[in-house]
């Protein structure tokens, strides 16, 4: 499904946090969102997910504005994994993933075996199927993050919004989760801090001070001179001797002199 944003603006107490952002994400595309801390990535994603109302602008799914859909209809199409979501409840891993089915259930279509299968496969996808009876508060940060991703997968969305899905994960799960997301045929928007991971995206949007200042393919965006401007670090490119792909290496600006 196609996700579009037109002239999105959001501000907190007069100061603009996101200003005039328009993007159009094609069906099946994997779109990366990069930018410094506080540049407005999470705020933009919350608007795209319909969780906060833009002050101006509209978000549409396949041409239909989110405003005209119920929460349930949105959730059947779009799943969102927040940067952080915690609980004090003694909830179990499987229960947390089952929450993803909420938007498909009603009094007339109660929980079925089909739902069990979907939850099982979501748990398998993030390799949490051996921990289904563990209590939430006993999980490590990365395990919690994988459960949230499994919950989103259990929603069977056509559009998946992931806000820094890999920030708590060890390197093997970072690779595994990103590969999984790349393989899914969902439309995906993913906020990332690891710029080397951003090479896996089809296109990348760069946020700076609330504006989308550039959109393009990884080859166009992930260039040393450009990144140095945005992040204020010194960037070198290296070649991976195995497959010839580009790798970025970062140094503080001082090192250059």
Binding mask 28-47 toward ligand ATP (x if CB under 6 A, else -) reads -------x-xxxxxxx----
**Residue 149 φ then ψ, to 5°:** -65, -40
**167 DSSP 8-state letter:** T
* Choice between 81 and 118, CB closer to ligand ATP: 81
Label residues 34-50 b or e (16+ Cβ within 10 Å = b).
Answer: bbeeebbbbbbbbbbbb
**Between residue 76 and residue 105, which ones bind Mg ion under the rule CB under 5 A?**
83
Point out which residues bind other proteins (CB under 8 A). 46, 49-51, 70-72, 74-76, 79-80, 82, 85-92, 95-96, 99-100, 102-103, 105, 107, 113, 116-117, 120, 137, 151-152, 155
Binding mask 77-96 toward ligand ATP (x if CB under 6 A, else -) reads ------x-------------
CA dihedral 108, 113, 116, 121 (to 10 degrees): -120
Q: What's the token pair of residue 206?
A: 């760069």
Nearest distance from C-beta of residue 242 to other proteins, angstroms: 35
Rule CB under 6 A: is residue 19 a binding residue for ligand ATP?
no
Q: What are the residues whose beta carbons fall under 8 Å from the beta carbon of 74, sequence distance 6 or more?
A: 49, 50, 61, 66
Nearest distance from C-beta of residue 208 to ligand ATP, angstroms: 10
Nearest distance from C-beta of residue 201 to ligand ATP, angstroms: 17
C-alpha separations of 134 from 65, 96, 117, 131, 229 in Å: 39, 11, 19, 5, 45
Rule CB under 5 A: is residue 42 a binding residue for Mg ion?
yes
């Amino acid at each position: 499904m196609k996700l579009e944003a037109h002239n999105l603006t959001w501000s907190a107490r007069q100061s603009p946090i996101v200003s005039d952002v328009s993007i159009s994400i094609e069906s099946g595309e994997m779109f990366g969102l990069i930018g410094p801390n506080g540049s407005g990535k999470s705020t933009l994603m919350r608007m795209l997910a319909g969780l906060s109302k833009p002050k101006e602008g509209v978000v549409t799914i396949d041409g239909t504005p989110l405003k005209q859909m119920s929460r349930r209809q949105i959730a059947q199409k779009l799943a969102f994994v927040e940067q952080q979501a915690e609980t004090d409840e003694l909830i179990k891993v499987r229960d947390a993933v089952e929450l993803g089915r909420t938007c498909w259930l009603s009094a007339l279509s109660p929980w079925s075996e089909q739902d069990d299968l979907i939850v099982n496969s979501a748990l398998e996808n993030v390799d949490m199927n051996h921990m289904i009876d563990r209590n939430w508060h006993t999980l490590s940060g990365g395990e919690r993050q994988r459960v949230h991703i499994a919950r989103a997968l259990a929603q069977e969305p056509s559009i998946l919004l992931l806000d820094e899905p890999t920030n708590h994960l060890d390197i093997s799960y970072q690779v595994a989760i990103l590969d999984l997301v790349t393989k899914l045929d969902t439309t995906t928007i993913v906020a990332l801090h690891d710029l080397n991971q951003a090479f896996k995206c089809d296109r990348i949007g760069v946020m700076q001070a609330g504006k989308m200042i550039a959109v393009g393919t990884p080859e166009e965006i992930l260039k040393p001179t450009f990144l140095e401007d945005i992040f204020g670090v010194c960037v070198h490119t290296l070649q991976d001797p195995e497959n010839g792909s580009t790798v970025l290496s970062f140094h503080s600006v001082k090192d250059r002199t």
